Structure 1
């Protein structure tokens, strides 16, 4: 795997670190759009005359196409070339952003958001695989993953801040700002990214499998963000659609087990780290939404924060994650191993959510919010670089795009699941208390507190999986000479082979 990565690196057209920053620029643009819209929803509703139920589709349309296509386009990136997939997605995403900014009514905006989700999936699904190919050396790889993890994880907090600034000027700017960014990233990508050919469609041109997994994921995400969120998890519509989604997923697994050229070779799940890390990611991201979404609603609806103040309140998360991801995560992962770094990070995220469960009706930022923000930023800055290393460990180069798409899929599905579960529980609790005669602020706060408790329980489950399933990738001490590096690489490959076979 190391030799294959070195060949890819030597074939490159530029400095791999420059290529990394180009990839991160594309990822940041996509991650920002996942949260930047939330700040502008009220303005969008007034300007385009959205109904309350229709407004949710500004978010849901993006989530369904994005989450539903990630695994498919990740594998297609392996087959036709990851650079081709990245650039194609960038074009689709940028054009769709312009269409969003030019929307004249609710229908055109929702359609453009669905298209934007397709472009976002195409672009982001292959990035992690490209990074692993460009940086075969474990030390450089850990450093590169730290930078990527900051963008992928802290981008949501940055989106809230930027959304407040742009919405104050004109909500259309939150979409139109992607045009110059997309052009700059696209031109740079043409110059610095490797023009890899891929392994060919004949190696995985599984059309029935592609249809099954795309339908299963799209229907699953739709079930989470629409009927489950609006009618509850026990509603017949929710249960029926959820059952169909699971049947489609089961049919996909059966298809992949018997297909001559499967879209997703099931052997990839033989890696304990890949399987375990994706489970940890689903649980952690679902719990994290208690911080980003329920936390922002608490600040806005209970404490009365405006758009700018709301964005600034989350700034410590992005700042701390940036410092840790760029300066320290690589050293910690290399010295102690990814699993050892992951568990304290998850523990700090848990502490942040538990702190928020005590947020009162008359809370103040410095006493009730700032501390959780610091804990969350520190925890996520430690956890996500380590988690991404674990999710890609032991993956063959020709399957890196698939593993990257899978990691992005679990992040998106975890986010959608967390949003639906926490929002439904919080709303139900609030409505119950309002019916019992409680004041609006008290009812809202109690609902948010319940959401934070559930988020904390999800992170506890993630901690259990991390402690019992994951195996730490061997740490790489600094300061080796050439012979020692060769020996360490052989040792790493032996450990990876052992991990893949479960020995």
Structure 2
């Protein structure tokens, strides 16, 4: 290793592993919040007098603010500094959670959820970009992103367990209050131990047209899919939202190609490896979000599991994700090209999903659901880890925040699409089954109940077939687009004057 290269490379931050603990804790809190409220929603709705028509807004308000503001949040992190954005995001998230937990009416609850989403949009890209600029050695980077990937993938299932416990044994309000200790510990710890590398901020003026166009475009897109789920794909407002999203996002891309200091430099998207990550990961999340929803309903409605038992039923998937991410992905990432982890990882997950197409009313948990979940977890964990790392690999440090925001945006939009698209497919298949088998439930009573259960399961398995196809497509995209070799001895992107993609600078491995 030449002395020049060594002198160019920043010394590793001695507190980086302590910092990872607090970054991981914050990420867990954000991911938990995406699912923990789902289980508490029926109780909260009853207590606060929220109508059935407005119930979905408890979920939608969070998704719209989070998905719509992610790119803005990533750019603010690059401008302010990631540490400051991270701590402010945590403080705001804790305050919004306290407001949600103390809500006495519908308006306060919806406002609190929107605020949670807004501060989450600042926090999530700051967390990922801090990892990107603090861990520069390839082996250490692989371990750090392995832990982060396991949390990003498995945190949603942990949210189902925690949500079940808190709702069943305490009160729905605790699904909000539980965020406060997470946020306080993470914020204090981050303030004390994180030392952001110097010279990695992007102090260019803020691209206001880009902020407005991207925020409105993403909100329109996410809301379009959310509305399609409740009102149907042919609803005039739904179509209008999709057309509006296409126009706004098209105008955003055009604007970014012309302005001097774009919100999202197009070089972040057009580099084939990062583009491949955003696309394949977004598609994979479509499949995963739909599955979380179907399995939750299957276990509670068809199998009669309690909320707590349902949460625990997801443990094999969490175990698989942690193993795939920290043991398989992290160990192999410095030895094999990322596409040879992501492609096969998505295919293993598709195999687990394929098993779930065989779901029936009387299916055995141990014989079918448990092994399918293990395969899903192993596959997604193995694929998530290199994907998270590649999303910022080789990017100019000044663009680390928006690159991190893009991987979060692809997951958020993927989640909205997955819930709406797969739910619609399932509902349509369920209705068709009920119509074609109406005679089976003609006697009413137990026969009608069994028909309803069979129709639901038929709907789920029909939608899961689509999820299998989506995961296979994710694998194909990862194998075709991602062409970077194994990350060698490690790389930190160097800031470049001309704004082109920076070349990695080798870092000595100690």
TM-score (norm 1): 0.91
Q: Does structure 2 retain, via aligned residues, the 8 Å contact 1:78–1:198?
A: no
Specify the alignment match of 1:135 in structure 2.
Answer: 135
Specify the alignment match of 1:158 in structure 2.
Answer: 158
Does residue 457 of the first structure (1) align with residue 466 of the second (2)?
Answer: no
From the superposition, tell whether residues 5 and 386 of structure 1 become closer, same or farther in structure 2 (CA, over 3 Å): farther
Distance in 1 separating the partners of 2:47 and 2:114: 20
SS of the equivalent of 2:133 reads helix
Write the deviation string for residues 364-396 of structure 1: whole angstroms up to 9, x where unpaired.
211121111110111112110021222222211
SS of the equivalent of 1:278 reads helix
Q: Does structure 2 retain, via aligned residues, the 8 Å contact 1:285–1:418?
A: yes
Distance in 2 separating the partners of 1:382 and 1:426: 28
Distance in 1 separating the partners of 2:434 and 2:47: 31
Specify the alignment match of 2:268 in structure 1.
Answer: 268
SS of the equivalent of 1:335 reads coil
Does residue 33 of the first structure (1) align with residue 33 of the second (2)?
Answer: yes
Specify the alignment match of 1:123 in structure 2.
Answer: 123
Write the deviation string for residues 249-281 of structure 1: whole angstroms up to 9, x where unpaired.
011111111112211111222310011110001
From the superposition, tell whether residues 497 and 114 of structure 1 become closer, same or farther in structure 2 (CA, over 3 Å): closer
From the superposition, tell whether residues 5 and 147 of structure 1 become closer, same or farther in structure 2 (CA, over 3 Å): farther
Does residue 172 of the first structure (1) align with residue 173 of the second (2)?
Answer: yes
1:435 deviates by: 3.9
From the superposition, tell whether residues 201 and 147 of structure 1 become closer, same or farther in structure 2 (CA, over 3 Å): closer
Specify the alignment match of 1:481 in structure 2.
Answer: none
Write the deviation string for residues 396-437 of structure 1: whole angstroms up to 9, x where unpaired.
111111100000000110011101101111122223333442
Specify the alignment match of 2:279 in structure 1.
Answer: 279
* Match runs of 1:345-360 below 5 Å: 345-360=345-360
Distance in 1 separating the partners of 2:8 and 2:419: 38
Q: Aligned to 1:447, which of 459, 465, 484?
A: 459
Q: Does structure 1 retain, via aligned residues, the 8 Å contact 2:100–2:113?
A: yes
Q: Does structure 2 retain, via aligned residues, the 8 Å contact 1:5–1:133?
A: no
Q: Does structure 2 retain, via aligned residues, the 8 Å contact 1:337–1:472?
A: yes
Q: Aligned to 1:467, which of 479, 500, 503?
A: 479
From the superposition, tell whether residues 376 and 5 of structure 1 become closer, same or farther in structure 2 (CA, over 3 Å): farther
Q: Does structure 2 retain, via aligned residues, the 8 Å contact 1:39–1:160?
A: yes
1:234 deviates by: 2.7
Q: Does structure 2 retain, via aligned residues, the 8 Å contact 1:353–1:372?
A: yes
Specify the alignment match of 2:24 in structure 1.
Answer: 24
* Match runs of 1:5-404 below 5 Å: 6-7=9-10, 15-168=15-168, 169-195=170-196, 203-226=204-227, 228-404=228-404
Q: Does structure 2 retain, via aligned residues, the 8 Å contact 1:294–1:451?
A: no
Bigger drift between 432-441 and 102-111 goes to: 432-441
1:299 deviates by: 1.2
Specify the alignment match of 1:479 in structure 2.
Answer: none
Bigger drift between 414-423 and 296-305 goes to: 296-305
Distance in 1 separating the partners of 2:147 and 2:158: 15
Runs of at least 5 residues in structure 2 that lack an aligned partner in the other structure: 441-450, 496-500, 505-510
1:164 deviates by: 0.9
SS of the equivalent of 1:126 reads helix
Write the deviation string for residues 338-388 of structure 1: whole angstroms up to 9, x where unpaired.
111111210111011111111001112111211111101111121100212
Q: Does structure 1 retain, via aligned residues, the 8 Å contact 2:83–2:194?
A: yes
Q: Does structure 2 retain, via aligned residues, the 8 Å contact 1:5–1:132?
A: no
1:171 deviates by: 0.9
SS of the equivalent of 2:378 reads helix
Runs (4+) off by over 4 Å: 2-6, 195-202, 496-499
Distance in 2 separating the partners of 1:321 and 1:430: 31
1:177 deviates by: 1.0
Q: Does structure 1 retain, via aligned residues, the 8 Å contact 2:341–2:383?
A: yes
From the superposition, tell whether residues 360 and 149 of structure 1 become closer, same or farther in structure 2 (CA, over 3 Å): same
Equivalenced residue count is 482
Write the deviation string for residues 6-63 of structure 1: whole angstroms up to 9, x where unpaired.
53x55x5x51001011101011011101011111122112222222221111111111
1:231 deviates by: 2.0
Write the deviation string for residues 99-153 of structure 1: whole angstroms up to 9, x where unpaired.
1110112221111111111111111112221101111111111111001001111
1:196 deviates by: 5.9
Bigger drift between 39-48 and 317-326 goes to: 317-326
Distance in 1 separating the partners of 2:468 and 2:491: 39
From the superposition, tell whether residues 299 and 239 of structure 1 become closer, same or farther in structure 2 (CA, over 3 Å): same
SS of the equivalent of 2:419 reads helix
Q: Does structure 1 retain, via aligned residues, the 8 Å contact 2:336–2:485?
A: no
- Aligned-CA RMSD value: 2.3
Distance in 2 separating the partners of 1:162 and 1:4: 47
Distance in 1 separating the partners of 2:257 and 2:427: 42
Q: Does structure 1 retain, via aligned residues, the 8 Å contact 2:65–2:115?
A: yes
